[in-house]
Amino acid sequence: MAEVEETLKRIQTHKGVIGTMVVNAEGIPIRTTLDNSTTVQYAGLLHQLTMKARSTVRDIDPQNDLTFLRIRSKKHEIMVAPDKEYLLIVIQNPCE
């Protein structure tokens, strides 16, 4: 248990990371380092997107599964790692 906490802490303190959040299977944020409104927004939107991405991958080949989803935008990069029950979202500013 402590390991995960540590890992999350490390991610949070990593260079360029703006925020992290853990969202459950229904799109409700469990843990976050950002403010409430932003979290809720991110959680809802990314949850849907992840579901869609996952169903796309699996529809093409049911033996396949989504490992992670990266959305790179002008300002920063959103990384989503889906799990069976949870979704881990990290927003990082890749330093360039």
Partner 1 sequence: MCRSLVWIFCAGKLGRRERSDKDEGLWNCCFLCLPGTVFSICCHLLHATLPQISPSSPVPTSGLSLAVIFSYKRSVSVGRGTRKRDEDSGTEVAEGADEWAQSKATVRPPDQLELTDAELKEEFTRILTANNPHAPQNIVRYSFKEGTYKLIGFVDQLAVHFSQVGNLIPKDSDEGRRQRYRNNLVTGSEESAKLVISEAEVVEEEDEPKEAEAGSQTDVPAAEAAEKVAEELMTPKQPKERKLTNKFNFSERASQTFNNPLRDRECQMEPPPRTNFSATANQWEIYDAYVEELEKQEKTKEKEKAKTPVAKKMGKMAMRKMTSMESQSDDITKVTQAAKIVERMVNQNTYDDVAQDFKYYEDAADEYRDQEGTLLPLWKFQNDKAKRLAVTALCWNPKYNDLFAVGHGSYDFMKQSRGMLLLYSMKNPSFPEYIFSSESGIMCLDMHMDHPYLVVVGHYDGNVAIYNLKKPHSQPSFRSSAKSGKHTDPVWQVKWQKDDMDNNLNFFSVSSDGRIVSWTLVKSELVHTDVIKLKVEGSTTESLEGLQLYTVGCGTAFDFHKEIDYMFLVGTEEGKIYKCSKSYSSQFLDTYDAHNMAVDAVSWNPYHTKVFMSCSSDWTVKIWDHTIKTPMFIYDLNSAVGDVAWAPYSSTVFAAVTTNGKTHVFDLSINKYEAICNQPVVAKKKNKITHVQFNPIHPIIIVGDDRGHVTCLKLSPNLRKMPKEKKGQEVQKGPAVEIAKLDKLLNLVREVKTKI
Binding site for partner 1 (CB under 8 A): 1, 3-5, 7-8, 10-11, 14-17, 20, 22, 24, 30-31, 55, 58-59, 62-63, 67-68, 70, 77, 79, 81-88, 90, 92, 94-95
Residues contacting 89, CB < 8 A, separation 6+: 20, 21, 22, 23, 42, 43, 46, 78, 79, 80
**Residue 83 Cβ vs partner 1, minimum distance, rounded to whole Å:** 4
Q: Which is nearer to partner 1, 41 or 83 (CB)?
A: 83
Q: Which is nearer to partner 1, 41 or 70 (CB)?
A: 70
